[in-house]
Structure 1
Amino acid sequence: MLIKLKHSSTQSLGRLLAGLVVSVVASAAMAAWPEKPITIVVPFAPGGSSDIVARNLAPMLGERLGQAVVIENVAGAGGMLGTQRAVRAAPDGYTILLGSGSEILINKLINPKVATDGIKDLSPVVFVGTGPMVLVGKAGLPANSVADVLALARAKPGTLSYASAGNGTPMHVAGELLKMRADVFMTHIPYRGAAPALIDLIGGQIDLGVSTLSAAQPYIKSGKIKAFAVTSAKPSELAPGIPAMGQVKGLEGFDLGVWFGLFLPNKTPPEILQKVQTAAQQVLADPQVKKRLAEQGISASGASAAELSKFMATEVEKYRAVVKAAKITAE
């Protein structure tokens, strides 16, 4: 016996079958991913901390995912050009951002007109790691501790200068937090990166600097500059022999570091997010990768996307309080 279907029923059945086909095709595509090389966007120039971290992860991440992972440096506008490149990329898993505090959180705080919002426009994948910054001084500065530095600052307000890797960087925020907590005034000198700031510090053109540990360590070890404290609550195993800012009298609890994470564009399929997270966690658990990152002043994490999101929610409030109180702007 033949069964005649009404036109509307035929249309409904057609839509159902079409939906099933799309679902099957999409599932097959997810299973096959990745089918071509993957790009990690580094929003800063080659040779900086972000670039070094990304290049330490890329080879083994490629092995885990079964495709080459290449680095693309997109520098400019304090990391925003590279961040925008990642935000605007197709959400297909082939463009990953190696992000840090500057471009993900701070830039939006110091310049609300910035179109990209690192929290809203990107999906966290994995927490790569954290590291302390370090307060350093020129070799000839008559100070051997944080207490000595603060005494000099109080004796001659405004005469001491301190350098950072740029306006609105974590180093700048840490310097302003120190000024606020200690109630001292020092003149901020922003540079375009840690390297030129350290060169002027070695040359004696500036008195102090807040730097990433990786950039400053060679000069600390050679005696070309002095190290007063890491910017953490407790001493860091990455910087043996250097006191912690958070254990200085009057600065108890001081804790502000640099951090890195992997991010994907919003609307990236959760199956791809999970694949990248699992592969990255395996890479970050590798002893050789941990060792190489430690040599760069970074303690490998490997925490999940959810844990990275929670960390960022806490960190952005730290930044917000300092940016507001110190009136830090993009200019």
Structure 2
Amino acid sequence: MIRILLLAVLSLLPIASVSGQEWPSKPVRFIVGYPPGGGHDFVARTVAQRMSEQLKQTFLVENRSGASGAIGTDYVAKSDPDGYTLLIASPAEVMVGPIAGQKVPYDAAKDLVPVALIGETPLAVAIHPSVPANTMQELLALAKRSPGKLSYGTPGTGSSHQFAGESIKAIGEIFIVHIPYRGAAPAVTDLLGGQVEIGIVGMPPVIGHHKSGKLKIIAVTSAKRSAATPEIASVAELPGFAGFHFTNWQGVYAAAKTPPAVIQRIAAEIANAVRDPATRQRLLTAGVDPLGLGPAEFSAFLAREHATYTKVAKDRNIKLGE
């Protein structure tokens, strides 16, 4: 009889464990596939801090950088599907890189599950102060007068930043040379030094330099002006660029087979964190537009993004190593 009762109790444990109500019962790790100090690291630490406060549990940010975010992504894909190891992803490692031919040891569509979309960072079209242009229209005119004389730096080949740059080249009918870097930090360093004239990077690494006058952000690449910098025009406002939209978003993923109830619980708590006024203001100040979308909305967003990037990769023949 005792044995039967024990088995009956044990049979109920899996149900309790997947209910999501007990999450988090131990520390949670946010995995960032890039070095400390970058935009994704900032977003991860901002959200982790708020979630620690609201849930009275430890949230750690762990940087596992390398291979354009693929190392950290693979780590989460192979982690236990329990909701305690989460990926803070950019488009590069879960979508754009693979579309551009990046060889990765995981299939994001099969090995990961989208949990929440924290926010979206419009990419900045920033130029060195020596460039004689103050608007996107003036930059396009300058590039047309001097084809091949200007160069633009991005955090890497196959990044959303390159896709945005190549789309600007195609629609604007200009030729500027793409210079890929290993991350945003070295791209911004060379932009500050004038080694490249144009940078297409996320807002967080350059917004401070823009405010200090060391760089000029002349446009953002989102379809609408950013809530963080409403004074800066969108590329989509230019004639012929209607609907132009490329961003560097911050999405949360869990390992595949993580219980749906746990996924919903995590998504709800992330939404709560993003709605917190102080957290929201920190994100906005860094150039991040807070969203806090759940699994269904995030999945629909990803489908639209995938269609856009697939078309651009085909039309512009964007491949890693080129």
Deviating more after overlay: 18-27 vs 278-287 = 18-27
Is 1:25 equivalent to 2:13 in the alignment?
A: yes
2:262 pairs, out of 265, 272, 293, with: 272
1:98 corresponds, among 76, 85, 88, to 88
1:253 alignment counterpart: 243
Identical counterparts, % of pairs:
38
Q: Where does 1:155-194 land on structure 2 (aligned, <5 Å)?
A: 155-194=145-184
Contact 2:221–2:244 (CA<8 Å) still a contact in 1?
Answer: yes
For 1:204, the equivalent position in structure 2 comes to 194
Contact 1:108–1:116, Cα closer than 8 Å, also in 2: no
1:290 aligns with 2:277: no
1:254 deviates by 1.2
Q: Deviations over 1:159-194 (max 9, x none)?
A: 111111111111111111101111211100011222
Judge conservation of contact 1:34–1:66 (CA < 8 Å) in 2.
Answer: no
TM-score for both structures, normalised by structure 2: 0.93
2:110 maps to 1:134 = no
Q: Over alpha carbons, which structure has the higher Rg? A: 1
Say whether the 8 Å CA contact 1:99–1:261 is kept in structure 2: yes
* Aligned counterparts of 2:83 and 2:7: Cα–Cα separation in 1: 23
1:110: how far off? 1.4
The Cα offsets for residues 223-268 of structure 1, whole Å up to 9 and x where unpaired, read as 1122221112222221132111001122222111111111110101
Q: C-alpha separation between the residues in 2 aligned to 1:193 and 1:211? A: 9
**Matches of 1:258 and 1:316 in 2, distance apart?**
13
Matched, 1:215 2:205: yes
Q: What is the Cα deviation at residue 22 of structure 1? A: 5.0
Residue correspondences, number:
317
How high is the TM-score relative to the length of structure 1? 0.90
The answer to whether 1:34 aligns with 2:28 is no
Please report how far the alpha carbon of residue 28 of structure 1 lies from its aligned counterpart in structure 2 after TM superposition.
Answer: 3.2
What is aligned with 1:8?
Answer: none
SS of corresponding position for 2:49: helix
CA contact 1:42–1:82 (8 Å) conserved in 2: yes
How far residue 135 of structure 1 moved from its aligned partner, in angstroms, is 0.8
- Comparing 198-207 with 168-177, greater Cα deviation is found at 198-207
- Root-mean-square deviation (CA, aligned residues, Å) is 2.0
Aligned position for 2:222: 232
What runs of 5+ residues in structure 1 fail to find an aligned partner?
Answer: 1-13
Q: How many Å separate the matches in 1 of 2:166 and 2:256? A: 33
Q: Where do residues 34-183 of structure 1 align in structure 2 (5 Å cutoff)?
A: 34-111=24-101, 113-183=103-173
Paired amino acid for 1:201: L
Partner-residue secondary structure (3-state), 2:175? coil
Worse overlay, 72-81 or 111-120: 111-120
Whole-Å separation in 1 of the counterparts to 2:198 and 2:221: 14
Q: Which amino acid aligns with 2:51?
A: L
207-216 vs 30-39, which moves further: 30-39
8 Å Cα contact 1:164/1:210 also seen in 2: yes
Going from structure 1 to structure 2, the CA distance change for 1:51 and 1:112 (only over 3 Å counts) comes to closer
Contact 2:227 2:284 in 1 (8 A): no
